[in-house]
Amino acid sequence: MEPLDGNAIGRPLLELSGREMTAADGAYGQCGSVFKLAELLVYSRAPGR
């Protein structure tokens, strides 16, 4: 299954939060590395869907 990226969930994130979120920073809990939400891999047809 080929993943997309965080850009693909820009609209639902916008509708949920009321703000543009793809350029928002996130951080890994373990190592603290910072990333942009748009850089996440998104499996829109994951098992169970």
Partner 1 sequence: MAEIVPETPRATSIVLDLPGWPGHRAGQHVDVRLTAEDRYQAQRSYSIASAPEDGYLVLTIELVPDGDVSSYLASGLRAGDQLELRGPIGGYFVWDDCAREPVLLVAGGAGIVPFRSMLRHRQAAAGDVAVRLLYSARSLQDVIYRDELMRFAAYDEVDIRFALTREWPETWHGHRGRIDSGLLSEVSWPAGDRPRIFICGPTPFVETAASTLAAVGLPSGRIKTERFGPAG
**Which residues bind to partner 1, rule: CB under 8 A?**
2-8, 10-11, 14, 20, 22-23, 36-39, 44
Minimum gap (Å) between residue 41 Cβ and partner 1: 9
Strand-pairing partners, residue 4, are 42
Question: From CA 45, how far away is CA 25, in angstroms rounded?
Answer: 24
Q: Identify which of residues 14 and 27 has a Cβ nearer to partner 1 in the complex.
A: 14
Sign of the C-alpha dihedral computed for residues 29, 35, 37 and 40 taken in this order: negative
Q: Identify which of residues 4 and 27 has a Cβ nearer to partner 1 in the complex.
A: 4
Q: Identify which of residues 27 and 39 has a Cβ nearer to partner 1 in the complex.
A: 39
CB atoms within 10 A of CB 24: 14
